[in-house]
Amino acid sequence: MEFNPFSPAFKADPYAVYADLRENAPVSRTELHFWAVSRYDDVGYVLKNPQMFSSTGMGGAIGGGDATRSIISSDPPDHTMLRGLVNRAFTPKIVAEMEPRIRAVTRDLLDRIVDADEMDLVEDLAMPLPVTIIAELLGVEPERRHDFKRWSNAVVGVTPGDITSERARDLQEFQAYFTAAIEQRRAAPTDDLIGALVRAQGDQESLTAEEIVSFAMLLLIAGNETTTNLIGNAMEALLDHPDEMRRVRDDRSLIPNMIEEALRYDAPVQFLFRTATEDIDLGGVTIEKGNVVVPIYASANRDDRRYPDASRFDVTRNAQGHMAFGLGIHFCLGAPLARLEAKVAFEELFDRASNIAAAPGAERLDSLFLRGMRRLPLTFVPNATRAGVRAS
């Protein structure tokens, strides 16, 4: 079966293609002239060896360019310096301290539908929650949140050779807004993430305005779209497996493990791109220097060699080692935030709603390398509001 991520049939359900690749062509040259790597061990080898599989080709895939250094599209030593600077402004401590605010935003969003018996999980919760949190973290004004989401859609929708005039305008607006925000923070320092990045210094280097804009663009995916897709994909898996839904509702302590299983089972980021820096033997074939290599995280996560009966969704499974957030030096900076937001979202949703079921009108996201729901209508029975649930 051909791995063509542009195919509508593939986007609807890529997992049959992944299974065929793992069994019959684990490292295969595609008709699109790149190498698809599908088995767990091989994907891990690619991700753990950045000196052999460069990330420099990733800039165009997220709407950036090759001239500007970016965390996602750079190799050591640039990557080491960039990651070090950003880590200081985006630490686990900062994320942990955000839980009360994440819970308050979630409760406010659910308050708006508490008296209803239907919702669009994406529109009503999975999208506005991470958009609000990331926008606040960056220091985006509340009145610009709708613009922020529109820019996010433009970034995610970009594929090589497919930048429409509307998307180009949105990307230009994004760059103009954050370039101006950076200049404002140079003149008047702030405590938000953009302000922290402006102030950050390391090895006598600082981030340029272009590099900060690139990082903000990456956060649109790592801290916004990824979380939206995680929540949507997890709910879709629970809807398809009602026994697992009941297990989680009956035992809320399973929610963090369910989130890890959902990440493994249907990864929000399906794959990314690398470039071979030398001739490399992998999986019994030779990948020539300069060839594009696609390590397929979502396929690795469904490899029975690593996870027995991997195509089964099991909220009690030990999903440790899944690659939904990558591996090695490019492990996703937004992973702790995505996990926390998803945990809070499901805890609060299950407090408010019972008998959750799918309603007509579900639509999948149209993206080259992300997998998620654009719309996920649900019906439910509202629970009686618990004391202390509503945010003040």
Q: pLDDT tens, 131-190?
A: 889 888 889 888 887 888 788 777 765 554 556 788 888 888 988 999 999 999 999 999
Q: How confident is the model at residue 79 (pLDDT cuts 50, 70, 90)?
A: confident
pLDDT-above-70 percentage for the chain: 87
Cβ-proximal residues to 188 (8 Å cutoff; 6+ apart), any chain: none
State the Cα angle at 26 between 58 and 225, rounded to 5°.
35
Q: Is the peptide bond before 77 cis (omega within 30 degrees of 0)?
A: yes
Beta-bridge partners for 373:
364
223-257 pLDDT, tens digit per residue, is: 778 899 999 999 999 999 999 999 999 999 999 99
Task: Classify residue 262 as exposed, middle or buried by CB count within 10 Å of its CB (0-12, 13-18, 19+).
Answer: buried
Averaged over 91-120, what is the pLDDT? 90
Q: What is the pLDDT of residue 84?
A: 73
Of 85-99, 165-179, 195-209, 292-306, the least confident: 195-209
Identify the pLDDT of residue 224: 77
pLDDT band, very low/low/confident/very high, at 358 (cuts 50, 70, 90): very high
Average pLDDT of the residues in 273-280: 95
Reading the block at residue 33, the tokens are 């002239």
pLDDT of 67 > 50? The answer is: no
Q: What's the pLDDT at 201?
A: 55
Of 62-71, 77-86, 299-308, 343-352, least confident by mean pLDDT is: 62-71
Look at residue 191 in the predicted model and tell me its pLDDT. 85
Q: How confident is the model at residue 70, as a pLDDT? A: 65
Please tell me which residue, 31 or 288, carries the higher pLDDT value: 288
Residue 387 has pLDDT above 50, yes or no: no
pLDDT average, residue stretch 69-76:
69
Q: Is residue 134 within 8 Å of residue 376, measured between CB atoms?
A: no
* pLDDT given for residue 160 in this prediction: 47
From residue 300, alpha-carbon distances to 10, 31, 106, 183, 368 in Å are 17, 21, 32, 43, 18
For residues 354 and 380, the answer to whether their CB atoms sit within 8 Å is yes
Write down the mean pLDDT value for the chain. 86
Q: State yes or no: pLDDT of 392 exceeds 90.
A: no
Residue 43's CB is within 10 A of a number of other CB atoms, namely 27
- Alpha-carbon span 338 to 269, nearest angstrom: 12
